[in-house]
Homo-oligomer: A and B are copies of this chain.
Amino acid sequence: MGGTVLKASNAAVNKPVNVGIVGLGTVGGGALNLLRANAAELSRRTGRDIVVSHVGVRREHPNLNLTGITVSMDIFAVVDDPAVDVVVEVIGGITAARELVLRAIANGKHVVTANKWLLAEHGNEIFSAAEAKGVYVAFEAAVAGGVPIIKVLREGLAANNIDWLAGIINGTGNYILTEMRDKGRSFADALDDATALGYAELDPTFDVEGIDAAHKLTIMASIAFGIPLQFSKAYTEGLSKLTRDDVVYAEELGFRIKQLGVARRTREGVELRVHPTLIPDDRLIAHVNGVKNAILVQSDAVGTTMYYGAGAGAGPTASAVVADIVDVVRALTAESAPNVPHLAFMPGAITNTPILPMEDVVTSYYLRLQAYDRAGVLADVTRILSNHDINIEAILQKPMQEGGSVPVIILTKPVVEREMNLAMAELEALDHIIGSVTRIRMEPLA
């Protein structure tokens, strides 16, 4: 029962904490500005002054006031600076970032990073190095921007066995889907708009193909279930094949389409998948629109909880970076690194539960076929589904379109994806089915 809570009287004698920031782009500049703007409030919270003493940059930043700060064009000078207590890595990318973070750790410095790509790919190596050295790598900003979902999963819900989580964790993708639904726009149009507004990168592949979401999902799944980071095993499916028709038909059936990252613990293994998903429109998360993020978590004691907010942008991401700095400073002041394990579970207690191949995942499906309006079409379709033990929940045939074909929408009951793949191949081989079958997975989220 040792240890003492810092008394107010100690606050004055504690020396400032020196922060080194590597990268002064949107997030780094935002963190610098936030540390200054809320300096008094941060000192009230931690009992210490938090000072940015050194920044590493690769170009000039004439719009930032760097008075009193050491500026190095060699970014490694920051992590080698003996006066720096905490290194903030916000350069992005994975090659230089990995080297930089590992060197900071080797130098005995705590690290704060917003780099989900880096952690999804190299997190196991980085956390292992940090644990060996007795320093901490904090990464709240890597997932869902300013929504403190890492802390919630790792500490707030620590009493629970987490069953599954499902998140809208890419703001660009959610903006596109919201525009498609609310304004009847096509995927391509909505993406152009997202790019013009600065939500999507010039190369939007990571956003629209679900890769960025899969990075974040990989991190959350590790923390929720106590498993190693395994980004390479995540299933990703993008938004580009979605049509406006699908959005409308889903709506008619009482659903909305969201790009969800889903991680679920089953007896056989862990599901780790990002794909467009039909969700019932009476779920709160169905009403999360625009660039916002939200994560729904299902756990055994608390039941369903949800966490909502801005997933990107200078302010929200800087909020998470600075919250991590506060955690580290509070720990430094307690003269002990935080004893919260990086991945929520003790390093020796991480389990090797396998990630399920997508073919083994069970979900319900929305299917859309384009069929010639001939006698026997529905009989053929339902026979094929029945042969694969796929039960139909609802069926909707739309009016005939130009060319004499009709769209048929089918909602199925849960079935393993392997069977659905076989059934889809047989459906597509039918003479009176035109083109490929659109398949969107469904999640009841209940």
Mark out the residues of chain A between 306 and 347 whose CB falls within 8 Å of any chain B CB in the assembled complex. Answer: 306-310, 315-316, 318-323, 325-327, 330-341, 344-347
Q: Please tell me which stretch of A127-135, A231-239, A382-390, A422-430 contacts chain B, meaning at least 4 of its Cβ atoms lie within 8 angstroms of it.
A: A127-135
Q: Which residue of B lies closest to A33 (CB)?
A: B301
Given A152-B152, A158-B326, are A45 and B341 neighbors across the interface (CB < 8 Å)? yes
Q: Please tell me how many copies of the chain the complex holds.
A: 2
Q: Judge if A287 is at the interface, Cβ distance under 8 Å.
A: yes
Given A156-B323, A327-B155, are A315 and B335 neighbors across the interface (CB < 8 Å)? no
Complex formed: what's the CA distance from A343 to B265 in Å?
Answer: 36
Give, as a whole number of angstroms, the nearest-CB distance from A114 to chain B.
Answer: 13
Q: Please tell me which stretch of A54-62, A88-96, A140-148, A196-204 contacts chain B, meaning at least 4 of its Cβ atoms lie within 8 angstroms of it.
A: A140-148
Complex formed: what's the CA distance from A327 to B340 in Å?
Answer: 8
Given A43-B349, A44-B349, A284-B308, are A318 and B134 neighbors across the interface (CB < 8 Å)? no
Q: Judge if A5 is at the interface, Cβ distance under 8 Å.
A: yes
Complex formed: what's the CA distance from A109 to B344 in Å?
Answer: 25
Q: Give per-residue flags for A339-363: 1 if the beta carbon is below 8 A from chain B beta carbons, else 0.
A: 1110011111100000000000000
Are B309 and A303 in contact, CB atoms less than 8 angstroms apart? yes
> A337 touches which one: B4, B108, B151 (CB < 8 A)?
B4
Give, as a whole number of angstroms, the nearest-CB distance from A26 to chain B.
Answer: 13
* Interface residue tally on A, bucketed by range: 35 or more
> A157 touches which one: B47, B155, B319 (CB < 8 A)?
B319
Given A146-B302, A157-B323, are A131 and B5 neighbors across the interface (CB < 8 Å)? yes
Q: Judge if A42 is at the interface, Cβ distance under 8 Å.
A: yes
Are B45 and A158 in contact, CB atoms less than 8 angstroms apart? yes
Complex formed: what's the CA distance from A9 to B152 in Å?
Answer: 26
Complex formed: what's the CA distance from A250 to B289 in Å?
Answer: 24
Complex formed: what's the CA distance from A306 to B309 in Å?
Answer: 6
Residues of B within 8 A of A69 (CB): none
> A346 touches which one: B47, B325, B331 (CB < 8 A)?
B47
Give, as a whole number of angstroms, the nearest-CB distance from A216 to chain B.
Answer: 17
Are B319 and A160 in contact, CB atoms less than 8 angstroms apart? yes
Complex formed: what's the CA distance from A160 to B310 in Å?
Answer: 14
Q: Which residue of B lies closest to A299 (CB)?
A: B319
Are B304 and A109 in contact, CB atoms less than 8 angstroms apart? no
Among A1, A30, A333, A337, chain B packs the most CB atoms within 10 A around the CB of: A1
A-B contact pairs, 14 of them (CB 8 A): A2-B337, A5-B131, A7-B131, A8-B346, A8-B348, A37-B300, A147-B305, A151-B151, A151-B156, A155-B327, A159-B319, A284-B288, A284-B308, A334-B336
